[in-house]
Structure formats: structure tokens, C-alpha cells
Amino acid sequence: MSASFSYCDVSLPVPLDQPFTYLLPETLRHRVRTGCRLLVPFGTRKLTGIVLRMHETPPESPAREALGLLDEEPALDGELLKLGLWISTYYCAPLGETLRAMTPLAGDVRRGKIYSLTSPGRDAARQLHLSNGGLDLGSDVSSAAGNKEVHGDPSVQILRLLDARPLSGSYLAQKVGRAAALLRSLEKKGFVESEDTAAGRDPSRASAARLRVEFLKRAPEQIKAGKLPKPQRELLSYLELHPGSHNLAALELSVPKASTAARALARQELVRLTSEPVGCGTASIRPPHTLNAHQEDAFNKVHAALEAKRFHTFLLEGVTGSGKTEIYLKAIESVLALGRGALMLVPEIGLTPAVAGQFHHRFGDRVAILHSAFQDAERAQEWKRIRAGDASVVVATRSGVFAPVRNLGLIVVDEEHDQSYKQQETPRYHGRDVAVVRARDAGAVVVLGSATPSLESRYNAESGKYTRLSLPERIEQRPMPRVELIDMRQEFLETRKSATFSRALIEAVQERLENGEQTMLLLNRRGFSSFVACRACGERLECAHCSVTLTYHRRDRRMLCHYCNYSERVPERCPKCDSEYIQFLGLGSERVEDELHGAFPKARIARLDRDTVTGKHDYETILAGFRNGDFDILVGTQMIAKGHDIPNVTLVGIVSADVGLGLPDFRAAERTFQLLTQAAGRAGRGGTPGIVLLQTINPDHYAVRCAAAQDYEAFYRKEIEFRRMMQYPPFAALANVIVRGLREEDALQRSAALGRLLRPAPEGVSILGPAAASLSRLKNEYRYQMILKASSRKRLTDVLTELRRFAAAEKWNPTMLSIDVDPVTLL
């Protein structure tokens, strides 16, 4: 029996701190509960908010009436609401925006269509992106095609939105005017395909990435000989030669136009199309292992804590290949046996179909997968299964920390040092830290795992806040890879050539090719040349909107800004001195691949970086190809460094260990150490021992030296001293305060006003700045920065609250002040 109230306070996703009071219509009075989502009028808009409280107190000005209730069950239970409040205070973020980030995106699972790009559509989007217009989409689709001003062209907008990920029709309708008609037209032209969200639909309507195709019967010879169009014939012969079912999107790499051909063939009943189960891939399923002594020891401690049903945090420090995953899986089994639920967080890039498959295999239907790349409807569906208690094991990326797992008993955070756990927009929370707070309130156990723990977590383990567990050896006593440092300055002195690859690296790759073993090559910078400069006057070409140099991408023959995606053609002459000596400097992964082809013309080479991974399945497709031995060499950015377990890789080459080392950021050394160690850890995970060749011009830098020695301990000792001396985390609570403005004057003056407000500095707080941020201009906005270091968390929160109050009182536009608490980068 629920009580009836006339009013409720609703927290809305707007950058204002207070809740708003609404009148509840008669029909809703008995149904609304705290934590439910409510649709309300706000200005001229309709917004979805979260009900915080119901009451009988009429507000001072007459309240508007709520429009509708989205949940019968609260979307956020008491525990999660409390967590939201904590996040809002700790990270200085408005509550409404915080709560919105905690609930699934889709308002509800309505029937509707999900749109995605076809491969011609993707090409079109790319081309548009690069050419800033000029693509002929057909006059009735794009009235502004060929016109300079393409940003405003709605069909171009749609292509661009869909290039990022598949989207629902209702979402597109919100963003773009006349979306429905434009989508129909784009679909007719073959740029876009749609899929019904309602279950049980004809599978051949699903997007290629979600379909498997299988050979059904031999086509009569006459059809094969002539009647069928070429793509269909090609697909048939491919399927005949490669029995079994294939993912359609993956097939498109080998068979041109496979997707269209498969659909046509399915109608003729020559092939069968089935939908790919959500999140489940072509993983090689491994049986559970018997734990070795170190694993056993670590697991027993976790198990005891689970049985005690009390909050406890473990830091599982295990070298690469030491078998951390098996401990996670066993711990999850234990917690399920105790009748509680489990949540496992993985980095953005760590949630591959292979990982999902492993969990499905072990826990079957009890697993739900939440990935930011999933469509809203898909996520909402998984979310409902979790809330209903049908799924008690959740594997998720960052925002999955808010999954409504019933009776939560365990949270695992894999690769806890990974930066993708920090959200880079409001609320700027850290998934790992939120996990610990959530577990504390739920009386759950936390396991943070990493081969290279963050300084913060390791420090917490030292100080007794966390319990440290260690796996010091690789599984089956496989040796750690041998790392050789190659001093590229010495190499230059000896060869008198500034080459991308040292002689030793070339030789080692050659050896692998001869032995049929595989090589991974890391260069953590995409593009061809990292900057373009004038040889006469030294001018470096910068983005028109940001204070950063443009990167040359040869495939597109354009220079691209990696911060805002602005692009332009390479000028024939220097815009400053008019000389024609434009040169391309600095190495990127695209050029590494190019030079590799030159050095090893016969090698099969693939590249994994943000330029080659654009769709949601590209990443897994390329990796799976490499794992299957379709390629000899995989070149890539940090994407190749994470968690992959590919036994045939016996050589890891780090083309330059120096990328990122010189950044003006107190975490530069930590990040470099982590990246190099993780990358090195990819070598020799199978039976054959591996070697790592690490090219650098900073062979004496401690991050490089410790990574070469695979010595986390030594790195930690050195780095923690630096942090202590400089009063950086974990020895201070840190915040990065940025004041932004389209006019430099505004940003400058306002940051100065904040500076004055904090003078003299409050006790226990030290302030750097205000000064121009190291990224002084970004997306047309000028940026001024203050870095606050406080001796206690409370002091920091107090000062930040004061700054926010000041900005609100001065009626600053809320986007002008951005506060990043516990920043992972100060750029």
C-alpha cells in the first residue's frame, strides 16, 4: 500500500544544483516512488528527471504538472541514489547530470528502428568528414551537397552521427530535423540500413555485424556460371571453401559486397542468415583451470572475505600472464554460490567478444554485458534483466559500475590503472573509485587487478587500506620476456641514418617471419607524420581551432587535428613565409606500417589504431585475424598493448618508447611505464619464450629502465618519492580547474577573478595558476587553468564548492567552469 502525495522534487539533467518541484496528476499519485524516472516540462522542453522526494508542501510559485512516469520500479534504488549524491559532492557535479549518467540512456525500450551505416555509407561519411563537403548524395537528399556549409546539412549530419555508432530513429529525430524522411531516402540509396529493435524479427534485416551466414546448399551450376551477380557468386564459392558460419561484417573484409550478396542469397535459400547472440563472439573457450599455488593463495583470501560478507578491498598485483582472470572467475563463482551478485568492470577496450564469450561459457544466462558501444535499446534490455535479478553477473565498461545488480557481493575492476575508467565529461567520476565506494555501502568485496597498479592503489595497499595479493610469476613458470633496450642515438652514430627501425629490430622481425612466429609493433601515435613544418621558417602547422599541431594522414592526404577532428589539405607553400619547403616530421603508426611494407614486402601486416578501428567490430575483427594467423605483424597504438593473449607472438617491438614521456603532466612517467610494461607483457605468452626490443632516445629515464626490467616495484619506489616531494596524489587531493571562453579576454578575466577569490590561499591548499592551460585553445575555446592541491579531501571540496558558488552568483554560463577532481591528466 503506497501513500499518495501531491508534489514531488525532481532532479533534472541540467547544470543547476537544485531539484525542481512538480505537481503530480491524480493518475500518478499512487504510482510515483523515489528513484523513478519522471517526464516533466522544463521551459519549452520535456526532460526526464529522477524523483528524489514526494511531499505535500506547495512551492512558492505554482508548480507545473508532471507529464508521465517512465518506471513502475525505481530506476535507481536507495543505494544507487546515495551513490549519486556522493559522486555529485565528491566530483563537484550537478546531481541531475550525475543521476542521468547513472541510468540507461534509452528512456524505455520502445519499438523502433536502429539505424547504422552500410559500407558505402561509411565511405561516404569518411569522405565527407575529410573533404568538408562535395559528396553527391543525390539532390533530393542533400540540398546543400557540394555547398561549403555542410555542418547544417541534415543528411550529412545523420551520416556523421551514424559514423560514430548505430543510433535509434527516435534519437536521430531529436538531433536532426526531418530525420525520418531523410533516413528513408538514405536507406533507399544504400547508405544506411535499419533494424527493428523488437525481438523475433526477420534476422536478415539485422546489420551485418550482427549476422552470421552459412552455406545451405550448392547452387545449380547454371546459376553459378552466369545468372548470379558477381558478388553472390564470389560469396558462394567462399562459403563452399570455408565451411561453417561466418560473421557477415568480418566476411566483408575478404569478400566484397558480402553483406548485400548474403541477403540476396538468403532470399533464394542458398545461404542461411542467423543473428549473432549479443556480446558473444568466436571466443576460444577455455575450461576452468586448477589454480596454481600463488593463485590458490590469493583466491583463498578473497574467498574468506566473501564469506564474511563485509566490505574489503584487495589489490591483486599479478605480472602479465600470471592468471588473474581465473581468480576473478573463481571469485565470481563463490559469490554466486553465496547467493549474491557480481560486477566486473573492464577497460573500454577490454570488453571484447572473446571476454564476453568466456563469461557466457562459465555463467550462461546469468551474465549481462553492458558496453558503451551497444545500442541504447540493447543496453536497456540488459539493464532490465539485471534489475529483475535475471542476470546476477555483469561484465561492463565504466558506466556499468551503476548497474542495478541485486544483492551485490563482489566488484572486480580489471586493469584498475586504466585511464578509460575516468569519465572525461560531467560527472567526471573514476569508475574504480566509485566501485570502492559502492562496495563499501553494499558490504561487498572489491578486487582491483593489474600488472602495473596505479600509484594510488598501490599506496593504499601499503598503508593498509587495501590488502595486497600478489602473483609474482607467469602461469606454468613461463619466463617473463627478455627486454633489450636499443639506444637510438647510438644507432644513429653507428649507421649515420635516422631510421625508424634499428638493425636489431629488422633482424628480429625477419627471424620471426622465417619461423612463422608473430610480431607486435607498438607506436603510440596514429597518423603518418605527427607534424608538418616549414623548413625555411620553422613554422609548424596548427589546427585552426586548437593550439596543437596537425597530424598528417597520408591515406586521406590531409592534416587532421586529433582533438577536434578539423582537417585541411597540406598547403603547397608555407602560410607564414611562402617557402615551398614543407616537410613531414615525427612518426605515426600509419608510417610504421608503410615502412614495414617496404622492409618486408612479403609480410602480411595489419594495423590497429583509431584510424583502422572505426566500427564497433573492427577491433575484434583485426585482432581475431591476427590471432588466427592471417597476419605476421600487427602494428598499432596503445590498443595493441591491452590484455591480449596471443600465444604465437614471440616478438614485441616498441618503435619509440619516448612518445608521451615529455608531456607536461605529472602522470607522464607512470603512463609510459604502464604502457611499455603492458606491451612487453604481450610477448611469449605461449610455449615459446618472447623477446622485447625497446627503441628509445631516453634509455636512462627511470620509466623506460624499469619497464625494460619489468620491475614494477622499482618504478613504484622511485615514482612515489617524486609524488611525495611534489605533493601530487596520493599525497594531496588534486583538482584541475579550467575556465573556458570563446573570447580570450573572458577566460583570462574570469580565471583571474577565481584566482583573487582564493587569495590568500585557504589553509592546507596550494594553488598553481591561474595561467594559460598547456592546451591553451581547444575547439575554439581559450582555456585558463588553476591546479589545486589540498592536504585533505574536505579542504579541496570546500574550496571547489566556493568556486562553484561564485560562478553561479556571477551568472557564468555553466560550461565556462570545468572542475576535474582527481584528474588523470592535467593537459
Of 14 and 480, CB closest to ligand ADP: 480
CA dihedral over 466, 472, 474, 479, signed as positive or negative: positive
Question: Does residue 325 touch ligand ADP according to CB under 6 A?
Answer: yes
Q: Which stretch binds ligand ADP (CB under 6 A): 319-327, 486-494, 614-622, 749-757?
A: 319-327
Q: In angstroms, what is the minimal distance from the CB of 290 to ligand ADP?
A: 6
CA dihedral of 413, 417, 421, 423, whole degrees rounded to 10? 150
Helix (H) or strand (E) holding 535: none
The order of strands in the sheet holding 341-345 is 367-370, 393-396, 341-345, 408-413, 445-450, 312-318, 467-471
Of residues 267 through 286, those in contact with ligand ADP by CB under 6 A are 286
Of 341 and 586, CB closest to Zn ion: 586
Q: Which stretch binds ligand ADP (CB under 6 A): 61-69, 323-331, 382-390, 655-663?
A: 323-331
DSSP string, 756-804: HHT-SPPTTEEEEEEEEEEEEEETTEEEEEEEEEESSHHHHHHHHHHHH
Residue of 577, 761, 768, 771 that binds Zn ion (CB under 5 A): 577
Residue of 318, 353, 400, 823 that binds ligand ADP (CB under 6 A): 318
Q: How far apart are CA 394 and CA 4, in angstroms?
A: 35
Residue of 349, 574, 679, 807 that binds Zn ion (CB under 5 A): 574
Q: How far apart are CA 287 and CA 298, in angstroms?
A: 20
Instruction: Say what angle helices 618-627 and 353-363 make with each other, to 10 degrees.
Output: 80
Residue of 49, 321, 729, 730 that binds ligand ADP (CB under 6 A): 321
Q: How far apart are CA 657 and CA 707, in angstroms?
A: 10
The order of strands in the sheet holding 567-569 is 567-569, 558-560, 551-553, 529-534, 582-587
Question: Does residue 561 touch Zn ion according to CB under 5 A?
Answer: yes
289 binds, among Zn ion, ligand ADP, none (CB under 5 to 8 A by kind): ligand ADP
Of 320 and 524, CB closest to ligand ADP: 320
DSSP character at residue 578: -
C-beta separation of 389 from 364 below 8 A? no
Question: Does residue 475 touch ligand ADP according to CB under 6 A?
Answer: yes
Of 384 and 545, CB closest to Zn ion: 545
- Segments of 434-581 assigned E as strands: 445-450, 467-471, 482-487, 518-522, 529-534, 551-553, 558-560, 567-569
Q: In angstroms, what is the minimal distance from the CB of 402 to Zn ion?
A: 32
Q: Using alpha carbons only, give the angle 732, 398, 814 rounded to the nearest 5 degrees.
A: 65
Question: Does residue 417 touch ligand ADP according to CB under 6 A?
Answer: no
Distance of CA 67 to CAs 24, 380, 781, Å? 8, 22, 38
C-beta separation of 490 from 484 below 8 A? no
Question: Does residue 689 touch ligand ADP according to CB under 6 A?
Answer: no
- Tell me which long-range contacts 294-301 makes (C-beta under 8 A, separation of at least 24): 294/322, 294/470, 294/471, 294/472, 294/473, 295/323, 295/326, 295/327, 295/471, 297/469, 298/327, 298/469, 298/470, 298/471, 299/327, 299/330, 299/331, 301/467, 301/469
Q: Which stretch binds ligand ADP (CB under 6 A): 164-172, 297-305, 313-321, 438-446?
A: 313-321
Of 285 and 537, CB closest to Zn ion: 537
Of the candidates 404, 333, 341, 399, the residue with the CA atom closest to the CA atom of residue 363: 333
Of 321 and 730, CB closest to ligand ADP: 321
Of 290 and 498, CB closest to ligand ADP: 290
Question: Does residue 775 touch Zn ion according to CB under 5 A?
Answer: no
Of 283 and 790, CB closest to ligand ADP: 283
3-state secondary structure 155-185: HHHHHHHHHHCCEEHHHHHHHCCCHHHHHHH
Q: In angstroms, what is the minimal distance from the CB of 264 to ligand ADP?
A: 41
Residue of 323, 357, 427, 653 that binds ligand ADP (CB under 6 A): 323
Of 449 and 527, CB closest to Zn ion: 527
Question: Does residue 442 touch Zn ion according to CB under 5 A?
Answer: no
Residue of 185, 245, 320, 460 that binds ligand ADP (CB under 6 A): 320
Of 18 and 300, CB closest to ligand ADP: 300
Of 322 and 352, CB closest to ligand ADP: 322
Q: In angstroms, what is the minimal distance from the CB of 410 to ligand ADP?
A: 17
539 binds, among ligand ADP, Zn ion, none (CB under 5 to 8 A by kind): Zn ion
Return the number of other C-beta atoms located less than 10 Å from residue 367's C-beta: 24
Q: In angstroms, what is the minimal distance from the CB of 787 to ligand ADP?
A: 35
Q: In angstroms, what is the minimal distance from the CB of 333 to ligand ADP?
A: 14
Of residues 610 through 649, those in contact with ligand ADP by CB under 6 A are 645
Burial of 90 per CB tally in 10 Å (0-12, 13-18, 19+): buried
Q: In angstroms, what is the minimal distance from the CB of 286 to ligand ADP?
A: 5
Return the number of other C-beta atoms located less than 10 Å from residue 604's C-beta: 14
322 binds, among ligand ADP, Zn ion, none (CB under 5 to 8 A by kind): ligand ADP
Q: In angstroms, what is the minimal distance from the CB of 453 to ligand ADP?
A: 13
Q: In angstroms, what is the minimal distance from the CB of 213 to ligand ADP?
A: 30
As separate numbers, helices (DSSP H) first and strands (DSSP E) second, the chain gives: 25, 33
Q: Which stretch binds ligand ADP (CB under 6 A): 62-70, 138-146, 315-323, 704-712?
A: 315-323
Q: Which stretch binds Zn ion (CB under 5 A): 45-53, 94-102, 453-461, 578-586?
A: 578-586
Of residues 770 through 809, those in contact with ligand ADP by CB under 6 A are none
Cell numbers given for 748: 583570462
Total of chain residues touching ligand ADP, rule CB under 6 A? 17
Q: In angstroms, what is the minimal distance from the CB of 31 to ligand ADP?
A: 47
Question: Does residue 566 touch Zn ion according to CB under 5 A?
Answer: yes
Cell numbers given for 211: 549476422
Question: Does residue 563 touch Zn ion according to CB under 5 A?
Answer: yes
Of 564 and 714, CB closest to Zn ion: 564
Question: Does residue 361 touch ligand ADP according to CB under 6 A?
Answer: no
Q: In angstroms, what is the minimal distance from the CB of 689 to ligand ADP?
A: 15
- Segments of 380-512 assigned E as strands: 393-396, 408-413, 445-450, 467-471, 482-487
135 binds, among Zn ion, ligand ADP, none (CB under 5 to 8 A by kind): none
537 binds, among ligand ADP, Zn ion, none (CB under 5 to 8 A by kind): Zn ion
Q: How far apart are CA 84 and CA 102, in angstroms?
A: 8
Q: In angstroms, what is the minimal distance from the CB of 320 to ligand ADP?
A: 5
Question: Does residue 400 touch ligand ADP according to CB under 6 A?
Answer: no
Return the number of other C-beta atoms located less than 10 Å from residue 198's C-beta: 12
Q: Which backbone phi and psi does 246 adopt, to 5 degrees?
A: -125, 145
Q: Which backbone phi and psi does 736 adopt, to 5 degrees?
A: -110, 115
Of residues 500 through 559, those in contact with Zn ion by CB under 5 A are 534, 536-537, 539, 543, 545-546
Cell numbers given for 306: 566473501
Distance of CA 605 to CAs 253, 601, 621, Å? 14, 10, 14
Question: Does residue 322 touch ligand ADP according to CB under 6 A?
Answer: yes
Of 70 and 291, CB closest to ligand ADP: 291
Return the number of other C-beta atoms located less than 10 Å from residue 652's C-beta: 28
The order of strands in the sheet holding 605-608 is 482-487, 691-696, 649-654, 518-522, 633-636, 605-608
Question: Does residue 690 touch ligand ADP according to CB under 6 A?
Answer: no
- Segments of 707-764 assigned E as strands: 733-741
Question: Does residue 292 touch ligand ADP according to CB under 6 A?
Answer: yes
Q: Which backbone phi and psi does 448 adopt, to 5 degrees?
A: -100, 125
Cell numbers given for 288: 576452468
Chain residues in the site for ligand ADP (CB under 6 A)? 286, 289-292, 295, 318, 320-326, 475-476, 645
Chain residues in the site for Zn ion (CB under 5 A)? 534, 536-537, 539, 543, 545-546, 561, 563-564, 566, 574, 576-577, 579
